[in-house]
Amino acid sequence: MSKQTIYINKKRVVLEPAQLIQSGGEGMVFDAGQGTVIKLYHNPQPQHAARLTHFMQSGLLARLPAGVMAPQALAHDRAGKLVGYQMARLPVGAQAIKRLAVPLFWQKHGLATAQIVPLFLQMHRALADLHQLGLVVGDLNDQNVHFAPDDLRQVYWLDVDSYQTGPYPCPVAALPFLDPVLYGVSDFGQRPYFTPDTDWYAYFVLLVKSLLHVHPYGGTHKQHKSLQARAQAGVTLVDDGVTYPNSARPPEALSDELLHHLHNVFARGQRGVFPAHLLAQYAADLTMCTHCGLAYPRQRRGCPACHCQTPAPQPLAAIRELLRVDGVLELVRVLGNGRILAISRSGGTYSLAWLGVGGTVQTMTLFDGRPGYRFAIFQPPGAAPLLAVNPPGGAQLLLLDVGGAAPRKLALLETGVFRETAVFAATPAHLYRIAGSWIMRGTLRDGLFVEDAIATAHHNQTIFWASPYAETLAGYHRVFAEHRYFLWHEGASFDVALPPLQAGESVAETAVTFDHHFAAFSHSIGWRGRQRDEVFVVDRRGGVGQRPLRLLPDGMDVEVGTAVHLHPQGILLQKSDRLHFFALDSA
């Protein structure tokens, strides 16, 4: 292959053969540097140009969910013909989700069902967001959805240029993920055939393949020998006439509720949005066989694989100490891979400890300083953890790389203040601060700390908190005596309409806590020298509800002053000088 010359934003780009990453049926993908790739079609068609032009001009790019690897710029040849596009590159180590159907892949990367289920919940939210934007994936399959095994916080979506949007159909389909209602279509490029229902069908196929390592129509059947015949006859993997593959996990590794939904969809033809609460309930009820290691619902009497009995629940007092410090624990953070970072202060020395649920891995001295330093920890995809350090009484943020043997300075920033306190917070992958009249989101790109403005801020009048589990901010702007609450989630901003105060009442204090799906605004409200507390739970669209935000298992309580952190394998309980771990399967 010789060099190829293209033009992006009227700038000449020469692609060398050494830049080729892969070549598929539709085109070639080249490394374009600066975290981007260029896809060139083998045979560019007018429909490619029409679809991509529509996509670029519709304003959809600014509203796409995080992880959707959409076109960023169009590529043309010398004659001005569209030949491809430029987009962000997948993180280092990202894998196609089809790898989750391979048991050895789970073993190699130490994956657990309790880690993979939240990944599919994140995928569920992104797919629902795409549908709200009027996009249908269409050819949703196990090769155009990716994830990073060492950072299970994000799903990455490829082949966005084939998504069905407006009058433009998705021209391709993969039979294992194709809804049987579309089996009779011979040319998907004729008109839009796919619907949100067909996407949810494919999503459920991906879920079953990932959790059971077998297709819903997997195994063998004497009469219905092909997948297509099985689907048309509604003969699923749990049918009595099916010989179940030995390499797959037993169907009972799923909950009865998920198996019932599997029957409704794949045997009876039921369609609709996949009920995410079934997956959340399943995750909350998981236990692990101590003999063979299979994760399965606690509702089972024993392990469905090796038939060992389900262990009796352990007393809630069975909480294991992970770390005790000679001083004070200042901050605890759980990273996407389950590792734990803890910052402590002993006298005038601040230290960082790396932990697993088995205990301390290593420690690092950060610096000497007086009490009052504040911290935020985040880990950009493919990078080492970063630590933002704020000195007491100041507005400076010192950004440190703490992935090596000693902390390394990356940048020195400044942020806005609220009530004389610096305003900053970190989600799993980003640092948020205030610069002028903007809330800024920062991360590491090609070794440099870069930022973009995501929302407006008011001078000395804006404060926010960040979720440690998702790209979510919640806070308020104080405009004289009025509090205007907001929630920002993965690129979308929402006003939060908390109930108004009564005459004479005022907000004395506000705090926000998070679980995987909700934010809880806690208010201390003053009235005539008295104080009452109220909690309002807000979903990721800013909707205010009444459900409690429960971070602890039912029946479990902790002492006042104990901070609770969710971990993929359990719950962390942070006290002033020690950190305890409570495993989910001991609840």
Query: Over the stretch 258-300, which tens digit does the pLDDT of each residue have?
Result: 999 999 999 999 999 999 999 998 998 899 888 888 999 988 8
State how far the Cα of 308 lies from the Cα of 306, in Å rounded to an integer.
6
CB-count exposure of residue 560 (10 Å: 0-12, 13-18, 19+): exposed
State how far the Cα of 321 lies from the Cα of 477, in Å rounded to an integer.
40
DSSP 3-state assignment of 125? helix
Q: Which residue spans of the chain are classified as CATH 1.10.510.10?
A: 95-297
CA atoms within 13 A on the CB side of 326: 4
Segment 19-66, tens digit of pLDDT:
888 776 678 889 898 889 999 998 898 888 988 988 888 888 888 999
Position 401 pLDDT exceeds 80: yes
Task: Give the per-residue pLDDT at 11.
Answer: 93
Position 462 pLDDT exceeds 90: yes
* Interval 465-486 mean pLDDT: 89
Beta strands at 519-527 and 506-514: parallel, antiparallel or unpaired: antiparallel
Mapping DSSP onto H, E and C, the string for 77-130 reads: CCCCCEEEEEEECCCCCCEEHHHHHCHHHHHHHCCCHHHHHHHHHHHHHHHHHH
Position 531 pLDDT exceeds 70: no
| Residue at 534: amino acid letter | E
Q: Which fold has domain 4-88?
A: Phosphorylase Kinase; domain 1 (3.30.200)
Token reading at 288: 């692990």
Position 229 pLDDT exceeds 80: yes
Helical H segments across 180-233, by residue range: 196-212, 227-233
CA dihedral (185, 186, 188, 191) in degrees, to 10, reads -70
Position 585 pLDDT exceeds 70: no
Average pLDDT, the chain: 89
Task: Give the per-residue pLDDT at 314.
Answer: 45
Q: What length is written for the chain?
A: 587
State how far the Cα of 464 lies from the Cα of 481, in Å rounded to an integer.
17
| Residue at 358: amino acid letter | G
Higher pLDDT, 21 or 561: 21
For the chain, how big is the Rg over CA atoms in Å?
Answer: 26
CB atoms within 10 A of CB 497: 13
* Interval 232-243 mean pLDDT: 95
CA atoms within 13 A on the CB side of 190: 5
Q: Which fold has domain 95-297?
A: Transferase(Phosphotransferase); domain 1 (1.10.510)
Which DSSP string corresponds to 230-252? HHHHT--TTSTTEE--TTSPPGG
* Interval 245-257 mean pLDDT: 94
* Interval 366-395 mean pLDDT: 93
Q: Which residue spans of the chain are classified as CATH 3.30.200?
A: 4-88
| Residue at 94: amino acid letter | A
DSSP 3-state assignment of 25? coil
